[in-house]
């Protein structure tokens, strides 16, 4: 008798990209499901997988012009060896995937500097496209137990079914976030460079990680009396304002929402959560 598959602990890299990047998240076992018919609303913009071209949400700006087109390629055995050499760090694996699997963004070839400029959501979308180019559009699961009724089933998850957040205006760089007492924070969305800075904090202090993100992404605060504080110290912000800004940065960041993937189980009728991780996307490598 085939043993049921139990998804291992894995690291989230969707909505948790700003915080707790190295913290494992227990994957919720899912069962055979029927995708909701409205799931296609909000699909990412992606070309024929054979062409390996995608349109990023933000892309890069060069001399006032925006470039959002990117090209990825199928990974080879040489790439697999390089990814294995990256070790157990999800961030190092992620960076290796970008450097090996992305050919170009705009007219520029991928390198570390270019990767660091991209929004976190664009980076995650690129990794999804690399996965599609290498293994196809479907994630296959066998003998998954339903977290509600326990039934074991096989499951096919199309990458296109993963929820996706778009930017209303891809060229908007700054955003106003209303704070308490009539203040307004001008912020920018986090990039790969910000992600690396958060990971450089080794003691696992979530508050310090939050401060790092805020210190880098809060450009200024306009107070109710009209005064402006440029680059305010993250530790000077109230706890309430910090949480408000961090939530805005997380909610507004574009790209795949891997942690939000759900199915409706056909047998018991329950909506079941199945977070998708880097480990799940490239399972077996």
Q: How far apart are CA 76 and CA 187, in angstroms?
A: 39
* Mean pLDDT per 10-residue interval, the chain, length 285 residues: 33 41 34 31 47 93 96 96 89 94 97 97 97 93 81 86 95 97 98 94 87 97 97 97 97 94 85 85 76
> Is the separation of the CB atoms in 266 and 36 below 8 Å?
no
> Is the separation of the CB atoms in 120 and 255 below 8 Å?
yes
Place of tokens 């090209």: 71
> Is the separation of the CB atoms in 240 and 229 below 8 Å?
no
First to last CA, the chain: 26
Q: What is the pLDDT of residue 162?
A: 94
Q: What is the pLDDT of residue 23?
A: 37
What would you report as the CA-atom Rg of the chain, rounded to the nearest whole angstrom? Answer: 20
The secondary structure of residue 40, as a DSSP letter, is G
């Amino acid at each position: 008798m085939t043993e049921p598959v139990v998804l291992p602990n894995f690291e989230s890299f969707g909505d948790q990209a700003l915080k707790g990047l190295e913290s494992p998240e227990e994957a919720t076992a899912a069962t055979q499901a029927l995708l909701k018919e409205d799931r296609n609303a909000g699909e990412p913009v992606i070309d024929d997988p054979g062409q390996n071209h995608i349109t990023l949400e933000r892309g890069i700006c060069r001399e006032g012009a925006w470039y959002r087109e990117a090209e990825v390629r199928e990974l080879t055995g040489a790439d697999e060896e390089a990814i294995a050499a990256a070790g157990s760090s999800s961030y190092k694996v992620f960076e290796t995937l970008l450097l090996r699997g992305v050919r170009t963004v705009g007219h520029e070839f991928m390198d570390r500097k270019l990767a660091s400029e991209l929004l976190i959501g664009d980076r995650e979308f690129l990794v999804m496209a690399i996965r599609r180019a290498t293994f196809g559009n479907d994630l296959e699961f066998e003998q998954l137990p339903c977290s509600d009724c326990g039934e074991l089933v096989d499951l096919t998850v199309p990458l296109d079914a993963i929820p996706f957040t778009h930017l209303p205006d891809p060229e908007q760089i700054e955003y106003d976030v209303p704070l308490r007492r009539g203040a307004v924070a001008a912020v920018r969305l986090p990039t790969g460079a910000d992600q690396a800075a958060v990971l450089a904090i080794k003691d696992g202090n979530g508050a310090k990680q939050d401060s790092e993100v805020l210190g880098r992404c809060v450009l200024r605060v306009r107070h109710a009396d009209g005064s402006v504080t440029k680059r305010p110290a993250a530790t000077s912000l109230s706890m309430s304002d910090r949480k408000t800004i961090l939530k805005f940065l997380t909610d507004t960041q574009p790209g795949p929402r891997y942690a939000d993937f759900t199915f409706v189980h056909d047998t018991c009728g329950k909506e079941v959560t199945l977070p998708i991780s880097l480990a799940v996307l490239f399972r077996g490598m």
